[in-house]
């Protein structure tokens, strides 16, 4: 069961090697190999087995006191950084890891999870009310200035009560705080990272591991090589394993078809940032090496979306008008998009921003109905004209990634929109890992009109009965908008924000769910995003790869569970 090199093939790269700002499913495949968090999710063979967070670096689930507002957590003795010599991961490292999230150079995409829950963290990040200071005001080009700020300021809600014990104090009880700590954003950071600007190319060449593997060579957009981390001990890690000797990621393969063929031939073992294209999927029905994840559930975990840039100055600011955006909602042929993804086996139309089975989903809610989910070009034209525009008057810049089926989805949406009276300019983004960082998470590009529409998508950051925050807050709470934000459109509706606050402070699950549902419905009435479908992910592996467990959070196989026949 041990030995050999696990070979992975794909097109693009990670979005960041730094957990403070990495937020991409492909990146999570890499993080699983060399990053540990206080809590994580087991690589169980079914979806239901991966829903609940389990201890990783932590010795146990938190001790919760103070009427649900204080969480005390102890880190495992013997969990080590692979420094020279190896060094224990400490409570101070955990505090540093979270402090870095609101750095001014490249902040985390879901910073509101932390600023809204941990006492004093919002002030640490943004200064006290009205001051305009805080970490966000520090020179973003100076690693030493950022390190000095963190070393000179504390967060009242994060205290190291011993070398291995950390105490979090929350602004209010939070039923999903363990989920928030399971995000890679909340990973500890070694003190050496203070020498680098967060997310920089220099930092990416100086990663430090506390997981079973370590990066031995990183050639951006070309390859990543992992070797065994000699400082890691299985006795201190209940989740990850170190079955293979190394992992080799080869990037730059132009098409998903070529990548899948290499895996089928056995020259590669698994895909990196691709899924099996529909044409190949149709021929692989009985292939024992094909996995459509997540397994053991009818629910999909991915929501492809068409995002609208309501800040775009293009076309005289046409996308700021509700009627124009609603015309786009009616225009899109969701059935055609689902066919592009592979049809009913992997995809189905979706009419709201929350996936079925998740908290906040509203059964039967469809504010922009069309026959068979095929789009309604006539209705869209009617709404466009009611908003004051004639067919052909609005030209939209539509950006898309060049991996998987994104190009086909883009041309499908282009055809539907042009039938409805829009002119659509397609803009491919390559390398694909820059899609979010160059455009969607970049307020300068957004407000300059570098894009009008984006073929995006979202997977909840966690699952279970209290996971609405993991979709609605990062995408639609405009109070956290800024560099790195996942509120790509700078959407900020006080009504939605009010529902969010009521949901988070609710004392019962029913009250919380009701407010999340109201928020989700208001978002759809405001028409800032077209939910195009609910999608599963078809991936394949070589015959020699065993224990291929689909991990929901990377939407791929867990590289720390796989082993190679013959070693």
Write out pLDDT tens, residues 452-476.
999 999 999 999 888 999 999 999 9
Mean per-residue pLDDT, 111-140: 90
pLDDT for position 252 = 95
Query: How many whole angstroms separate alpha carbon 294 and alpha carbon 47?
Result: 6
* Widest CA span in the chain: 69
Mean per-residue pLDDT, 315-335: 98
pLDDT for position 130 = 52
pLDDT for position 513 = 95
pLDDT for position 465 = 81
Kindly provide the b/e burial profile for residues 410-429, where b requires at least 16 CB atoms within 10 angstroms of the residue's own CB.
bebbbebbbbbbbebebbeb
> Domains, the chain, ranges and CATH?
13-209 (3.40.190.10), 214-297+540-564 (3.40.190.10), 303-535 (3.10.105.10)
pLDDT digits (tens, 9 = 90+) for 231-261: 999 999 999 999 999 999 999 998 999 999 9
Band of the pLDDT at 195, cuts 50, 70, 90? Answer: very high
pLDDT digits (tens, 9 = 90+) for 270-308: 999 999 999 999 999 899 999 999 988 777 888 999 999
If phi over 0 gives left and psi between -120 and 50 gives alpha, with beta otherwise, what is residue 341?
alpha
Say how many residues make up the chain.
567
Query: Residue 129: is its pLDDT beyond 70?
Result: no
pLDDT for position 184 = 98
Mean per-residue pLDDT, 525-533: 96
Mean per-residue pLDDT, 415-425: 98
pLDDT for position 146 = 98
pLDDT digits (tens, 9 = 90+) for 385-402: 999 999 999 999 999 999
Mean per-residue pLDDT, 49-56: 96
């Amino acid at each position: 069961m041990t030995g050999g090199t696990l070979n992975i093939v794909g097109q693009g790269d990670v979005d960041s090697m730094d957990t403070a700002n990495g937020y991409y499913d492909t990146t999570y495949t890499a993080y699983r190999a060399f990053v540990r968090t206080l809590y994580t999710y087991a690589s169980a063979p079914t979806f239901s087995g991966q829903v609940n967070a389990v201890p990783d670096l932590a010795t146990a689930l938190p001790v919760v006191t103070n009427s649900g507002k204080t969480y005390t957590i102890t880190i495992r003795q013997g969990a080590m950084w692979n420094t020279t010599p190896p060094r224990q991961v400490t409570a101070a490292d955990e505090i540093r890891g979270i402090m870095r999230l609101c750095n001014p150079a490249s902040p985390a995409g879901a910073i509101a999870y932390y600023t809204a829950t941990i006492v004093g963290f919002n002030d640490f990040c943004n200064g006290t009310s009205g001051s305009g200071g805080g970490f966000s005001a520090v020179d973003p080009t100076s690693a030493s200035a950022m390190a000095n700020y963190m070393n000179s300021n504390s967060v009242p809600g994060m205290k190291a009560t011993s070398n291995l014990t950390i105490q979090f104090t929350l602004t209010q009880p939070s039923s999903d705080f363990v989920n928030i700590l399971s995000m890679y954003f909340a990973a500890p950071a070694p003190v050496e990272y203070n020498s680098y600007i967060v997310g920089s190319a220099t930092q990416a060449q100086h990663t430090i591991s506390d997981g079973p593997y370590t990066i031995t060579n990183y050639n951006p957009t070309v390859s990543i090589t992992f070797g065994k981390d000699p400082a890691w001990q299985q006795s201190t890690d209940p989740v990850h394993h170190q079955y293979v000797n190394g992992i080799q990621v080869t990037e730059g393969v132009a098409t998903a078809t070529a990548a899948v063929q290499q895996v089928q031939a056995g020259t590669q073992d698994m895909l990196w940032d691709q899924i099996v294209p529909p044409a190949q999927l149709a021929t692989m029905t009985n292939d024992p090496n094909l996995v459509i994840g997540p397994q053991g559930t009818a629910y999909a975990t991915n929501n492809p979306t068409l995002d609208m840039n309501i800040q775009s100055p293009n076309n005289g600011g046409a996308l700021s008008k509700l009627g124009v955006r609603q015309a786009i909602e009616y225009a899109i042929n969701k059935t055609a998009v689902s066919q592009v993804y592979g049809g009913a086996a992997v995809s189905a139309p979706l009419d709201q921003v929350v996936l079925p089975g998740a908290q906040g989903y509203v059964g039967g809610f469809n504010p922009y109905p069309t026959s068979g989910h095929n789009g309604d070009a006539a209705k869209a034209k009617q709404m466009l004209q009611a908003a004051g525009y004639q067919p052909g008057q609005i030209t939209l810049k539509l950006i898309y990634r060049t991996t998987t089926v994104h190009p086909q989805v883009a041309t499908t949406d282009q055809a539907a929109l042009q039938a409805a009276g829009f002119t659509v300019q397609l803009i491919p983004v390559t390398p694909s890992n820059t899609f979010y960082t160059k455009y969607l998470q970049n307020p300068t590009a957004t407000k300059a009109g570098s894009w009008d529409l984006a073929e995006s998508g979202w997977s909840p950051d966690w699952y279970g009965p209290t996971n609405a925050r993991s979709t609605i807050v990062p995408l639609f709470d405009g109070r956290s908008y800024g560099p790195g934000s996942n509120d790509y459109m700078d959407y900020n509706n006080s009504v939605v924000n009010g529902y969010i606050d009521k949901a988070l402070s609710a004392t019962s699950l029913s009250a919380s769910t009701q407010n999340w549902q109201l928020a989700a419905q208001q978002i759809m009435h405001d028409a800032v995003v077209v939910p195009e479908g609910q999608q599963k992910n078809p991936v394949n592996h070589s015959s020699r790869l065993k224990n291929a467990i689909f991990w929901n959070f990377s939407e791929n196989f867990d590289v720390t569970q796989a082993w190679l026949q013959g070693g």
